[in-house]
Amino acid sequence: MSALAPVIAVDGPSGVGKGTLCQWLAVRLGWRLLDSGALYRLTALAALRRNAPLEDEDRVAAVATRLEAEFTVRADGGLRITLDGTEVGVELRTEQCGNAASRVAALPAVRAALLQRQRDFRRAPGLIADGRDMGTMVFPDAELKLFLTASAEERAQRRHKQLSQQGLDANLKSLAGEIAERDARDSQRAIAPLRPAADAEILDTTRLKIADVCAWALALTAQRLTLPELR
């Protein structure tokens, strides 16, 4: 019998800092990383490239099923992502792409098409899973579930800084509006809405530095999981 590899599920709204925490945890523990948002972003991008209307559930689900995407880890823990054999860069990280991802993510057939692909990331020695429904739907049996929150204003500022660092144009005011729209759609959709699992540990990161968030997550990991790498 082969036991399933352990999972740490990290959920929360846009711009809360999940990506930074997950990348740090994956490097610290030497575990694999699932950026589930990237799968929804890639599905939206592939659908747009194929001129499939984003509300056409059957067509977008077919795109998701046949998604030719690969994730490889760089030395710094960041991901190199390819779509149809070609690397996708900043295009994937724009707020427009995030919004398109949020729209296709509300379609049940698209979520169903991506479910097993996400679960396939669960391999030894363990998986850090970053998303909206990691603890509730994709890995309900995760060993540890973390849920990050922060004020809408703080999240817009963090996302603004992140986009500017990537050389992407971003206007703080319109970004705040786009994030609010995306959060409302992600939290109110009928299927797998953004919400903490009943057994999630919740942290409001509004006034915290990333180092504090990492320390909190690592302390919980050490408490809940018996890991040789943390002894």
The token duo for 35 is: 């950026």
Residue 23 as a binder of ligand DC (CB under 6 A): the answer is no
Nearer to ligand DC, 102 or 221 (CB): 102
Structure tokens at 7: 């999972």
Binder of ligand DC out of 6, 8, 22, 37 (CB under 6 A): 37
| CA-based nearest residue to 73, from 30, 44, 37, 115 | 30
Shortest distance, CB of residue 18 to ligand DC, whole angstroms? 7
Tokens 């206007």, residue located: 171
Q: With respect to ligand DC, which residue has the nearer C-beta, 28 or 117?
A: 117
- Name the residue with the smallest CB distance to ligand DC: 37
Residues 28, 210: contact at Cβ < 8 Å? no
Q: Is residue 41 within the footprint of ligand DC (CB under 6 A)? A: yes
Q: What does residue 190 show for φ and ψ, rounded to 5 degrees?
A: -70, -30
- Segment near ligand DC (CB under 6 A); pick from 49-57, 81-89, 100-108, 172-180: 100-108
List Cβ neighbours of 195 (8 Å cut-off, separation of 6 or more).
136, 187
Residues numbered 181-210 forming contacts with ligand DC, rule: CB under 6 A:
182, 186
Residue 6 makes contact with ligand DC by CB under 6 A: no
Rounded to 10 degrees, the C-alpha dihedral 99/15/31/142 comes to -80
**Shortest distance in whole angstroms from residue 231 CB to ligand DC:** 32
What single letter denotes the amino acid at residue 28? R
Residue 7 near residue 139, CB atoms below 8 Å: yes
- Closer by beta carbon to ligand DC, 122 or else 182: 182
Which range binds ligand DC by CB under 6 A, 22-30, 126-134, 150-158, 198-206?
A: 126-134
Least distance in Å: CB of 133 to ligand DC? 5
Phi, psi of 196 (to 5 degrees): -70, 145
For residue 112, the Cα-to-chain-centroid distance in whole angstroms is 17
Residues 101-120 that bind ligand DC (CB under 6 A): 101-102, 105
Q: Choose which of 133, 147, 158, 179 interacts with ligand DC (CB under 6 A).
A: 133
Token output for 52: 């499939």
Q: Residues interacting with ligand DC, by CB under 6 A?
A: 14, 36-37, 40-41, 98, 101-102, 105, 131-133, 182, 186
